[in-house]
Structure formats: structure tokens, C-alpha cells
Amino acid sequence: MRVLVAGRRGQLATALIERLPRDGHEVVALGRPDLDLTERDSILRAIEANSPDAVVNAAAYTAVDRAEEDRDLAFAVNTIGPAMLAAACAGRDLPFLHISTDYVFPGEGGAPYDEEAEPAPLGTYGASKLAGERAAMAANPRTAVIRTAWLCGPEGSNFVKTMLRLGEERETVSVVADQKGAPTFAADLAAAIALMLPRLVAAPAGDAGFGVFHLTGAPHTTWHGFAEAIFEGAAARGRKVPRLSAITTAEYPTPARRPPDGRLNCGRILQVHGIRPADWRESLARCLDELIGPITKDQA
């Protein structure tokens, strides 16, 4: 089938461009100006010109802290854009798959959250993403939403690459140890989407394959625990690594509040789509192999 991906250079879009053709699918990944989520006519032209069988929205405004001052743009991209994209898909009876976030939850009790848990975002980013979920599902009954967390991989800007850079620059790196969640590697999320799409293309509205699903890596950890694993892997590959210091959220203030416990229950996507959370430790090893190089016999 032909899959139109909104987004072209982001982590997930890049992973989808690599992954979907392995299943024999054609991928058309478009970013601005070819597909601008803030322009309805741009969306309609992109879908008409490419005649996709399904559309995946891998584009988003993800600057969590900047969103607090750039609220209008965050909602334009994360709410109005998905609504217009979903409506355009509905006009052609196409399934729409949208990516959302654990930041729709407050993380202050109830984790690991399932899909029925009541959202209560702490900041503009989470609020805009939650509104986008709801707007997309209202516009197109053939919408599937995947809430994920801590997205990373060898492409783009992310926590893994930041830690590797800081490890080269500093003797000590301080990382928050009281925020819980789970890393999700873009390649694993792309593989899950590849598994979901054939069912979504064939299924009518009302099928259990549509709706909201949670998917992150496993097992759960903290940002500090994730950093430990990154530096252990880097050291095994011969990289200089810093001393790692655990700090609290209060010691690292940011403009936007983060959920202290954003762990997601990923049972529903296993039950409905047969997708298990990938072990992020194995995915991290593959990522470090790509970013640094594999562990040699001398290093093992």
C-alpha cells in the first residue's frame, strides 16, 4: 500500500521511511512546504496528489518548554493540524494514525496509566496534544492514536545524543532521578505502526483496531536510569564517560512541568494488535552501534 507520512526529517518519519518499504509499502513523507499542518489547502493538495491508502501523522510541535510562550503555534500544529488532516482522510475514507504523548497525564498518581485513565496535562504541550487526539478522533472515526514517550534514536535531537555529547564535554553530568517513564526508540515505534497499518486499511469504522493505544519501550525506568545505561554502553564502546549525578526535579527547574510518573500501561495494544513493548535496552545497544560503532572483541 501507499502510506503518506506527515513529517519528513523527524525521528519517527525517518524511521518509517526506512521501515515501511521492508514490508513492501510505498512511503511518501512530506514536510513543509509540501505538507504544512497549519494550512488546510496544503493538506488537501498533499492527499489528492499522492492518493494514499493510509496517513500517519509523525509531525508535531515538540518543544515542551518553548510551548509555554508559543501557545498559539503549539495548538496550531498539535491540535488544528491533526484535526484538518483527519478530516481530509475522512473525506476519502482513509484511516488516520496519529502519534500522541504521555504528557497528556499529570503523572501525579495512577501510573502506569491505561487508555481509560483521565488525562490532565500539566502544560501547553500536553494540552495541545490531548486536544489533537480528541479533534482527530472526532473528525475521522477511522483514527488510531498511539501515545508514546521519551522518543529517541540515531536521528534528530534526543536524550541519547544529548547524553553522549555532554559525556564528551563534562566531567560530571547531573540527571533527574525522580521522573519515571520508559524510552521508546523510533525504529520500534515504526515497526509497530507497520504491523498496525494493514488492519487499519482493511477495517471499517468501529473496529477495535481504532481508538487510543499506549506504546513505549520496556521496562520502566527513570531519566537517571536511562542515562546510566547510555553511559555504560558508551564506555563499552571505548567512549569517555562522565561521573553521573542523581538530582531531583526541584533541582532542575524548567518552564514547563513534566509528569513525575508518566509510565503507560501497554496492555491494550498487545491485546488488540498483538504488539509487545520492545526492550529499550536492546534498542539502545543498536542505537549506540550506529552512533559510536559496535563493541569490538578487544572491548568485550
pTM: 0.96
60-101 pLDDT tens trace? 999 999 999 999 999 999 999 999 999 999 999 999 999 999
- 136, containing H or E segment: helix 124-139
- 222, containing H or E segment: strand 221-222
187-245 pLDDT tens trace? 999 999 999 999 999 999 999 999 999 999 999 999 999 999 999 999 999 999 999 99
43 phi, psi to nearest 5 deg: -65, -45
For 169, the 3-state DSSP assignment is: helix
DSSP 242: -
To the nearest whole percent, how much of the chain has pLDDT over 90? 95
Residue labelled with grid coordinates 501510573: 111
Mean pLDDT over each residue of the chain, to the nearest integer? 96
* Whole-number pLDDT of residue 156: 87
* C-alpha to C-alpha distance for 13 and 31, rounded to whole angstroms: 10
> What end-to-end distance do the CA atoms of the chain give, in Å?
43
* Whole-number pLDDT of residue 300: 61
Residue labelled with grid coordinates 512546504: 33
**ω before 112 within 30° of 0 (cis)?**
yes
134-193 pLDDT tens trace? 999 999 999 999 999 999 999 989 999 999 999 999 999 999 999 999 999 999 999 999
Nine cell digits for residue 58:
509523525
Nine cell digits for residue 77:
500544529
Residues designated catalytic: 125
Could you give all domains of the chain from N- to C-terminal order, each with its CATH number?
2-157+183-219+262-278 (3.40.50.720)
* Whole-number pLDDT of residue 160: 97
CB 55 within 8 A of CB 28: no
